[in-house]
Amino acid sequence: MTTNADAPGEFTPTRRTKVRRHPERARYDRQTVYEILDQAFVCHVAFVTDGMPFVVPTNYVRVGDTLYLHGSVGSRMMKTLASGASFSLCVTLLDGIVFAPTATGHSLNYRSVVVLGNAKVVDDADMKVDAMRAFVEYVARGRWPMVRAPNESDMARTMVLAVPLVEASAKVRTGFATDGQEEYREGTWTGVLPLKLTPGEPIRDPRGDRAVRAPDNIRHYSRPQ
Amino acid sequence: MTTNADAPGEFTPTRRTKVRRHPERARYDRQTVYEILDQAFVCHVAFVTDGMPFVVPTNYVRVGDTLYLHGSVGSRMMKTLASGASFSLCVTLLDGIVFAPTATGHSLNYRSVVVLGNAKVVDDADMKVDAMRAFVEYVARGRWPMVRAPNESDMARTMVLAVPLVEASAKVRTGFATDGQEEYREGTWTGVLPLKLTPGEPIRDPRGDRAVRAPDNIRHYSRPQ
């Protein structure tokens, strides 16, 4: 199990985070969990309102052992989470399609993280601005000093939630089909088609400064793999 | 509103599917909802077990006005959904990063669909095989006749669920920042960085037939945009 100074140790699998289907795909080390979290943009948050489970995509940023969410103070999801209600979130990176010799052997290669917990509203103005800075810098390092910082109105309209990373697990599928050798037959191609979220050419906002070129880290955008 | 023979009409927004945040991004026509569903591979399913909302990524296929899920008969998610419990699922396609002149103006371009409902177990053997064929053919057309069809053991281990597409809505964000003109300033690049899930070169399974080349639709893989 790889660990480093940034992410030492392991999550203790709980009854709720222990991976039961395909336990061989489970990862509980913070290093793996954090690497997955630090590569994606969108998580899916599940919460209960009026007895009904809802799922909403939203963005996030990890800072140390805390995950931050943000959104409108009027959002149903934000209000539910702010109330202290238990919720889950999931981050999934799709890495490829697995072409197997059998119909049911077909699969997807992926890396996913599930986080369970409760959120706390970040009320302290300095901490809230720090989280907002982290959101912007997560998208592109060096962006924060280039843009207008949140003003009072932005701050009032935006809720920031902190989710301590206490109960989490990752699930990783890699490689080819796991069908038995006897299933392979002549004439059928089997293998993996890799998939990757790829940036295109930056498109300039027609309202922006025409004299400015997109910074290098936007023109040659990359996420940690 | 665009409709065609495959997807006529609109979903009636309900209290649960009506888009409240950014209602200008809401789409209720089946055409848009189905186009989004037909492009992605993974949905995130939210369900409640022991009072706790869970979220799990899984694949799916749409056939007409029905969405099919499948999984192990032992899966907690499948068992919960099979019980008839209400659940939600969400499909999200990430299309780009929006670089705005203000910190809080930063956003993501995306297309998402939320489906609410209840699932029914597909018990009929022929209908179950039809759904499994749809799963395989969704991944790559022409694949089904190339692979070993589900046998009795595969059928017994796999549960297929049908979700009628009755209560659903889509949300679509496109374009640039929506900050006021007065926020734009000289020296800051603003615009959109497009993102796209891109296939790489197919990787051959070392256990497969070495004489067979990947079919054209896998080598030049594309999804409807």
Tell if the CB–CB gap between B54 and A47 is shorter than 8 Å.
Answer: no
pLDDT tens digits, one per residue of A130-174: 999 999 999 999 999 999 999 999 999 999 999 999 999 999 999
Say if residue A5's pLDDT is above 90: no
Alpha carbon distance A200, A53 (integer Å): 35
- Between these two residues, B171 and B23, which has the higher pLDDT value? B171
Question: Both tokens of residue B37?
Answer: 């569903």
- Cβ–Cβ < 8 Å for A107, A98: yes
Length of chain A: 225
Tell if the CB–CB gap between B196 and A200 is shorter than 8 Å.
Answer: yes
3-state SS record for B137-201: HHHCCCCHHHCECCCHHHHHHEEEEEEECCEEEEEEECCCCCCCHHHCCCCCCCEEEEEEEEECC
DSSP one-letter code for B148: B
CB neighbours (10 Å) of residue B200? Answer: 14
The residues near B86 (Cβ < 8 Å, ≥ 6 apart) are A51, A52, A53, B116, B117, B118
Interface-testing mutation among B15, B52, B99, B219, with chain A (most A C-beta atoms within 10 A): B99
pLDDT tens digits, one per residue of B174-199: 999 999 999 999 999 999 999 999 99
Option in B47, B150, B199 nearest A193 (CB): B199
Determine the topology of domain A23-179+194-219 in CATH: Pnp Oxidase; Chain A (2.30.110)
Question: Both tokens of residue A170?
Answer: 């990752």
The C-alpha R_g of chain A, in whole angstroms, comes to 20
Interface-testing mutation among B118, B147, B153, with chain A (most A C-beta atoms within 10 A): B147
Question: Both tokens of residue B17?
Answer: 């599917």
Tell me the chain B residues in contact with residue A212 when contact means C-beta distances shorter than 8 Å: 186-189
What is the residue extent of each domain of chain A?
23-179+194-219
Alpha carbon distance A118, A70 (integer Å): 14
- Cβ–Cβ < 8 Å for A112, A168: no
For residue A93, the one-letter residue type is L
Give how far B194 is from chain A: nearest CA, Å: 5
Tell if the CB–CB gap between A190 and B200 is shorter than 8 Å.
Answer: no
Alpha carbon distance B225, B208 (integer Å): 31
For residue A134, the one-letter residue type is A
- pLDDT category, A222, cuts 50, 70, 90? confident
Q: What chain A residue is nearest to B59 in terms of C-alpha separation?
A: A108
Tell if the CB–CB gap between B88 and A200 is shorter than 8 Å.
Answer: no
Give how far A4 is from chain B: nearest CA, Å: 28
Tell if the CB–CB gap between B190 and A208 is shorter than 8 Å.
Answer: yes
Interface-testing mutation among A89, A130, A173, A205, with chain B (most B C-beta atoms within 10 A): A205
Mean pLDDT over the full length of chain A: 94
With tokens 């996030």, the residue in question is A60
- pLDDT category, A28, cuts 50, 70, 90? very high
CATH superfamily of B23-176+198-219: Electron Transport, Fmn-binding Protein; Chain A (2.30.110.10)
DSSP one-letter code for A91: E
Interface predicted TM-score of the whole assembly (ipTM), two decimals: 0.94
Out of A16-20, B23-27, B221-225, pick the least confident: B221-225
Give how far B1 is from chain A: nearest CA, Å: 25
Pairs of residues, one from chain A and one from chain B, whose beta carbons lie less than 8 Å apart: 313
pLDDT tens digits, one per residue of B15-53: 888 888 888 999 999 999 999 999 999 999 999 999 999
Tell if the CB–CB gap between B146 and A55 is shorter than 8 Å.
Answer: no
